[in-house]
Chains A and B, each alone.
Chain A
Amino acid sequence: MVEHKDVHEEILLAPIAQTGPGFYWAVAGLAVFILWGAIAYAVQFHQGLGVTGLQQPVSWGFYVTNFVFFIGISHAGTLISAILRLSKAEWRRPITRMAEVITVMVLFIGAGQILIDLGRPDRMMNVIRYGRYQSPLLWDATSISAYLTASVVYLYLPMIPDIAVLRDRLKKRKLFYSVLALGWTGTEHQQRILNRAIAIMAVLVIPIAVSVHSVVSFVFSMTLQPMWHSTIFGPYFVVGAIFSGIAALIVAMIVFRKAYGLEPYLKPIHFRYLGQLLLIMALLWFYFTFSEYLTGYYGAEPEEMKVFWAKFIGPFWPFFWAMVLCNFVIPIACLARLSQRTVGKVLIASLSVTVGMWLERFIIVVPTLSFPRVPFPEGVYSPTWVEWGLMAGSFALFALFYLLFTKLFPIISIWEIQEGRETGLKEVEERLLTYLPDEAEANILAVSTRGR
């Protein structure tokens, strides 16, 4: 047993203990994009939102699209991890932490998009000083900050035993790890409290996560605008969020599997299960999209139809049909059969869904604003280098945060992997036995029926 422990610790601590040139190249590459974003924001802060392609009537564009997209990605982590934990899916063990880190990191980026979008970022504290709870933006602020808090706690709790390992095994950052380990020694009492705390957080985090993307959708559906004012927007956005979240999680898993040599931990079976989950979400997403558009089309309300046709055959057709291709056709084709070349197929599907879900957010935000109800001059929105820069910078910043995390903490939970072999196996066997009919009871029953 002791040997097992050492092997896991050695492999999973390796990225923290040693740093190769690959890391510095990656950081340098990301820094270029972050610098582009930083310059773009400095220009925008100095001159005003005029440097963007926004105008009237399209007063929301890339920033709001990215806000919805990033907050959607955040559903990868905490929500999926909580569901897998609660359903006692044993294959979750090497995945949960990777997922939870995505949530925490991407929430910062997502919330940041709204700050970038403000005309007066210097007055953002007004939201707290004069906050008005009738506004869906306040619901967003509340829900997202609750989700961020819960996700940080939910990420941190299962890390405590691993931080203790880092404290004992690693030679650097002694104080940092000692403080964060909270005096963990691994006694039975500590373990019991930890498991209880994780279970409570897992239950708590699910309703919060569902609320987050519901209220994000309410920003649109609470207005009277055509193709926004829809009752299914809440669940539609939540489904899309989980969909894009799983895709992002798979991409992150494959990247770090390759970079850190985690193949023994992240096996094709993990990708197969996640791929099946992605397939289900693709079908669910299609169902929601179909319902949404069919309802609009059949009712044929003129204002709705203006936006509807703009998406189907009008100026937005390339985005709309690319979305259908990326979110439905490609994933279905890739994920229908996963017995061979699982990882490659799942990767293609996930990249495709990530692009497709971004397009979906864009196709929700911009076309509605482009076609006002009144005969107002119609607007054509095309983003400027500032918006592209901030988008590239946001993605790069997210990747950098994630990368730095993997340099400070093990990206796969060491103790949960060990627990899988030590207690998980036995637990699963015991649990399985409780599902089956009791042998002794069955015998007695068989005898009594024969006697009759």
Chain B
Amino acid sequence: MALWGMVIDLDRCTGCQACVMACKAENNVPAVGQKEAERGRIISWMQVLTETDEEHHSEKMRFIPRPCLQCDDPPCTKVCPVYATYRNPEGIIAQIYNRCIGCRFCMAACPYNAKYFNWYTYQKEKPGQNPDVSVREKGVVEKCTFCHHRLQKARERAHAEKREIEPGEYNTACAQACPAQAIIFGDLADPGSEVSKLARSPRAFKLQEELGTKPKVIYLTEGEGGG
């Protein structure tokens, strides 16, 4: 079975936020408005975190695009009291919006702050939204799903044509949109895939690897002359 994963090359990332915008458009992520944003309630499944280099303070900035890291040992699913979030067999962490009771335990447990809450009814269904992704109501948690609906579509197409999904047939919106090709998406279970090869790079590292969450989003650190 496939094991979907992602490699993000920090050497290539320019911090342009194209991935963020592509994600918002693809997944009907609501714009919360200036007032709510100022209160710290932005919803951004893909968020570009910035980190200043401690040695070269205010000279060097690191951009870390952070989707849900789709941990293989996720701290968020462990604590959910109602099975509203779980790891599916292909390694994607699913979120059932219609079951979530909004206790926000998963948000407190996620060490990457990848989960977001609908503090108000931020949007209703309207034309122009992606019909493949359900619009979230107030009071539930949401997060990046690796554009899971695209996998479903690709699988249906492959099934109708009586074949397996081909590499590249399923890709996430952020990876597709990245102008610097810093985001590479694919099957980590296939050792020949590009994402697998990159994941074996000596530059590869995982965020907070010491926590043992086994994230399936792997970062490539900046090269020697980078920054």
Chain A interface (Cβ within 8 Å of chain B)? 47-50, 54-60, 114, 117-121, 123-124, 126-127, 129-132, 134-138, 141, 219, 222-225, 369, 372-377, 379-380
* A56–B116 touching, CB < 8 Å: yes
The 8 closest A-B pairs by CB, nearest first: A119-B102, A119-B139, A50-B119, A55-B40, A50-B120, A137-B81, A48-B138, A135-B81
* A48–B139 touching, CB < 8 Å: yes
Bound form: Cα–Cα A55–B80 in Å:
19
Q: Distance (Å) between the CB of B77 and the closest chain A CB?
A: 9
* B140–A120 touching, CB < 8 Å: yes
Segment 91-107 of B: residues with Cβ below 8 Å from A: 99-105, 107
Q: Distance (Å) between the CB of A52 and the closest chain B CB?
A: 8
Interface pairs (6), CB distance under 8 Å: A60-B104, A120-B102, A132-B82, A135-B79, A225-B109, A376-B113
Q: Which residues of A contact B36 (CB under 8 A)?
A: 50
Interface size class of B (residues with CB under 8 A): 35 or more
Q: Distance (Å) between the CB of B166 and the closest chain A CB?
A: 34
CB contact between B49 and one of A56, A134, A222, A376 (< 8 Å): that residue:
A376
Q: Distance (Å) between the CB of B186 and the closest chain A CB?
A: 24
- Counting CB contacts under 8 A, is B51 at the interface? yes
Q: Which residues of B contact A225 (CB under 8 A)?
A: 108-109, 111
Other than A56-B113, A374-B112, give 13 A-B pairs with Cβ distance below 8 A. Answer: A48-B119, A48-B139, A49-B102, A50-B120, A56-B40, A56-B41, A117-B103, A117-B104, A132-B81, A132-B82, A224-B109, A374-B208, A379-B40
* A222–B119 touching, CB < 8 Å: no
CB contact between A59 and one of B47, B108, B120, B121 (< 8 Å): that residue:
B108
* A59–B50 touching, CB < 8 Å: no
B49, B113, B116, B138 — which one has the most chain A CB atoms within 10 A of its CB?
A: B113
Q: Distance (Å) between the CB of B164 and the closest chain A CB?
A: 34
Q: Which residues of A contact B105 (CB under 8 A)?
A: 135-137, 219
* B108–A127 touching, CB < 8 Å: no
* B51–A375 touching, CB < 8 Å: yes
CB contact between B80 and one of A135, A219, A224 (< 8 Å): that residue:
A135
Q: Which residues of B contact A377 (CB under 8 A)?
A: 40
Bound form: Cα–Cα A219–B225 in Å:
45
* B102–A132 touching, CB < 8 Å: no
- Counting CB contacts under 8 A, is B78 at the interface? yes
* B101–A60 touching, CB < 8 Å: no
* A119–B138 touching, CB < 8 Å: yes
